[in-house]
Amino acid sequence: MSNQRFRVNTPTVTHETIDGEAVIINLDSGNYYSLMEVASFIWGLVEKGASASEVQNLILQTYQGDATDIYRGVEELLAQLQQENLIVPVNGAGAFDLIQLNQELSSNNNHEKPSFNPPLLHKYADMQELLLLDPIHDVDDAGWPKPNPDPPK
Amino acid sequence: MPTSQVAPSDIPGKEQASRSAEYFQSVYELFKSSQQVTGPVHRSYNIGGYLIRLNFSGAALLSLTRALEHLAIDGHSTPDLTICLWDSESTGQPMAPRPWQEGDFLARGVIQGYNTERIYTAFQHGSAAVSVLDKERNLAIFWAPDPRVPYWEKGSPLRTILHWWLLSKGLQLVHAASVGNSTGGVLIGGKGGTGKSTTALACLESDLSYVGDDYTLLGLDSGPVVHSLYNSAKLNSDQLERFPALLPKIDNTEQLDEEKALLFVNEHYPSRVATRLPVRAILLPRVTGLAETRLKRVSVATALAALAPSTIFQLPRAGNEAFKFLATFARQLPCFSLEVGTDLSTIPPVIERLLAEIDSTSLPPEK
């Protein structure tokens, strides 16, 4: 995995993380997403500016699991997030403070490491129809589309 | 899919600002001409604590006010917002030819090139209505080609303009129902068909007050608050047989093969409509097929995912600001899945017990 960094694709994407669960909306596509547990943790790291390899190492440090599984899980989630246009690559070193984050993680590492489960991106496409443009079948002399008696989607 | 989000980077330069302001003014002049023919008709409403005056050209569009009548006031003072309403059919005043191209109709009705920080312009495809707001002048215009607006426009009139203007006052229109009592209310969220109306209407047979069944207004001034916006209720006709007491009160009985059943709660249960309640919990209805109604704790993020997309994707220009508002609102409340029973009489006691429990224990949001 690379030293590639990303940023959240604002303003197209808006997101909130509450109690370890991230809710993400793509305002252009109408899709929305949820990330839980390790996936939400990865989202937070990416948002803070961690590179792909930094994310992998931090997950390896924080969770108990096979390194290959962890590397693959992170890689696949980052690929999905890019594919859904939720994050975009950025150039440059970024301002990610790895040292501070390591300290934070160390202070929380008194407990046993949680098991690593592959991070999942839950995608919901049930709002897309609200964004579909109503076809303009008929216009009046001034160019105004005529009323459509069907209820709005 | 073209974006309907107006991002700060898209806020146009002087040319677009000037074109949008000129467009608003030209529509306003047409409204005034139409009113010279018909004469003015005024109605005033207290919406979320703001005096909003509807300034009609004649009486043809007054059918739009039934959903707002529970908020009617004698508004002699200066309004906070004035909305001018006219239609071409009854006034004989044509609308100006549309100045934009077909490709400028974006998702959610936003008109490309006619939206700025000051001027908001949207088209409603179903009713073919145009809504424009000049935020600086607190002046808006609603134009429809014909006064016979669709039933859903009568149920939630002026939704776009109210959403735009009220957001600038810290009030967020939300796709959610609400009921409650003297201890507070619950916000009932979720996309269409999840049971919001069924839950709200089932409570008409109880001691719980009705705030709204589809769109309500949220505030955060002194904790989470819900304001009633529309007293209308819409119900799928296949659900009507579950509410025999409501059948004679349905407004559009003749059109139920094509339309949802529309009911104006204020006209039949005026004492049951509450205009403002502190919100104590968020409920997400879910039909289970079981007879009894039950509550199950869910996370705040689950509630946000149920509330925000179905709100944002119905409202022109809604986006990040609305999402952040709803997140802030939801964070302050315990959230539950309301597993709606087939026996509708089991719904109100569950909500009443929850409100009583929260009132006595100050139940926090789920961690």
- All residues of chain B having their beta carbon less than 8 Å from the beta carbon of residue A28 are 1, 3, 5
Rounded CA-CA distance B232/B249 in Å is: 12
SS3 B348: helix
pLDDT average, residue stretch A65-78:
96
Residue B201 above 70 pLDDT?
Answer: yes
Chain centroid to CA B204: how far? Answer: 20
Contact B309 A140 (CB under 8 A): no
In-domain check, residue B367: no
Q: Which chain B residue shows the shortest CA-CA distance from A125?
A: B309
For residue A104, the model assigns a pLDDT of 67
Nearest Cα neighbor of B296 from B285, B311, B312 is B285
Pick from A115-124, A132-141, B301-310: least confident: A132-141
Examine the fold and report which residue of B119, B141, B167 is the final residue of a domain before the chain moves on: B167
Tell me: do B163 and B176 sit in the same domain. no
Query: Are residues B127 and B193 located together in one domain of the fold?
Result: no
A151 chain-B contacts, CB cut-off 8 A: 126, 150, 152, 259-260
Distance to chain B for A42, nearest Cα, Å: 17
Q: Which long-range contacts (CB under 8 A, 24 or more apart) does A51-58 make?
A: A51/A2, A51/A3, A51/A4, A51/A5, A51/A94, A51/A96, A52/A1, A52/A2, A52/A3, A52/A4, A52/A5, A52/A6, A52/A78, A53/A1, A53/A2, A53/A3, A54/A3, A54/A96, A54/A98, A56/A1, A58/A101, A58/A102, A58/A105
pLDDT digits (tens, 9 = 90+) for B57-97: 999 999 999 999 999 999 789 999 999 999 999 999 999 98
Pairing of strands A32-36, A121-124: antiparallel
- Asked whether the predicted pLDDT for residue B36 surpasses 50, the reply is yes
Q: Quick check: A93 pLDDT over 70?
A: no
Cβ burial of B164 (10 Å; 0-12, 13-18, 19+) is: buried
Would B2 be classed as within a structural domain? no
Q: Is the pLDDT of residue A68 over 90?
A: yes
Helices and strands in chain A: count of H runs, count of E runs: 5, 6
Does B331 contact chain A (CB < 8 Å)?
Answer: yes
- Considering the domain boundaries, does residue B3 fall inside one? no
More confident residue, A133 or B261: B261
CB B208 within 8 A of CB B178: no
3-state secondary structure of A70: helix
pLDDT of residue A153: 46
* Chain A touched by B44 (CB under 8 Å): no
3-state DSSP assignment of residue A5:
strand
Closest CA to B251 of B230, B270, B232, B228: B232
pLDDT above 90 covers a percentage of chain A that reads: 64
Which one of B100, B134, B167 terminates a domain?
A: B167
Cβ-based neighbour number of residue A143 at 10 Å: 15
Same domain flag for B218 and B101: no
Does B107 fall in a domain? yes
Same domain flag for B99 and B131: yes
pLDDT of B177 strictly over 60: yes
Cβ atoms of B285 and B344 closer than 8 Å: no
Nearest CA in chain A to B312: A27
A131 to B150: CB separation less than 8 angstroms, yes or no: no
Q: Is residue B80 a contact partner of residue B70, using CB atoms and an 8 Å limit?
A: no
Per the structure block, which two tokens stand in for B5?
């989000």
* Residue B159 shares a structural domain with residue B229: no
Residue B1 lies in a domain: no
- Give me the mean pLDDT over the B325-338 stretch: 97
pLDDT band at B7 (very low <50, low <70, confident <90, very high): very low
At residue B28, φ and ψ (nearest 5 deg) are -65, -40
What pLDDT is stored for residue A130 in this prediction? 73
Question: What pLDDT, on the 0 to 100 scale, is given for residue B362?
Answer: 62
B162 and B218 inside one domain: no
Establish, for the pair of chains A and B, how many residue pairs have beta carbons separated by less than 8 Å: 131
Which pLDDT value is given to residue B129? Answer: 93
> Mean pLDDT throughout A66-83?
96
Half-sphere exposure of A142 (CA within 13 A, CB side): 12
Region B333-360 average pLDDT: 95
Containing domain of residue B316, as a range?
172-361
Sole residue written with tokens 């949220």: B218
Q: Does A125 touch chain B (CB under 8 A)?
A: no
Segment holding B359, helix H or strand E: helix B347-361
Shared domain for B148 and B219, answered yes or no, is no
pLDDT at A121: 97
Phi-psi label, residue B322: left if phi above 0, alpha if psi -120 to 50, beta otherwise: alpha
Query: Has residue B232 been placed in a domain?
Result: yes
d(CA B27, CA B3): 25
pLDDT of B3 > 80? The answer is no
- Domain membership of residue B67 (yes or no) is yes
Compute the distance between CA of residue B108 and CA of residue B317 in angstroms, rounded to an integer.
8
Chain B interface includes A25 (CB < 8 A)? yes
Interface check A150 vs B, CB under 8 A: yes
Here the tokens at position B355 are 């409100």
Residue B168, Cβ neighbours under 10 Å: how many? 12
Q: What is the mean pLDDT of residues B283-292?
A: 92
Nearest CA in chain A to B191: A127
B124 in contact with A, Cβ within 8 Å: yes
Q: Does A8 touch chain B (CB under 8 A)?
A: no
With the CA atoms of B321, B322, B327 and B332 taken in that order, what torsion angle do they form, in degrees rounded to the nearest 10? 110
Amino acid A109: pLDDT? 60
Mean pLDDT, range B348-360, rounded to an integer: 94
ipTM of the predicted assembly exceeds 0.85? yes
Q: Are residues B111 and B194 in the same domain?
A: no
- Clarify whether residues B196 and B343 are in a common domain: yes
Q: What CATH number corresponds to the domain at position B307?
A: 3.40.50.300
B124 and B192 assigned to the same domain: no
The pLDDT, as a whole number, for residue B101 is 86
**Residue B183 in this model has a pLDDT that exceeds 70:** yes
Weakest-pLDDT range from B86-95, B167-176, B241-250: B241-250
State which residue of chain A sits closest to B331, comparing Cα positions: A18
CA distance B78 to chain A (A): 34
CATH code assigned at B110: 3.40.449
Average pLDDT value over all residues in chain B: 92
Claim to verify: residue B193 and residue B328 sit in the same structural domain: yes
Higher pLDDT, B224 or A113: B224
Q: How many residues does chain B have?
A: 367
Q: Which of B167, B196, B220 is the last residue before a domain boundary? A: B167
Counted domains in chain B: 2
Q: How many CB atoms lie within 10 A of CB B143?
A: 24
- Cβ of residue B323 closer than 8 Å to a chain A Cβ: yes
| Burial class of A82 by CB neighbour count within 10 A (0 to 12, 13 to 18, 19+) | middle
Residues B106 and B160 in one domain: yes
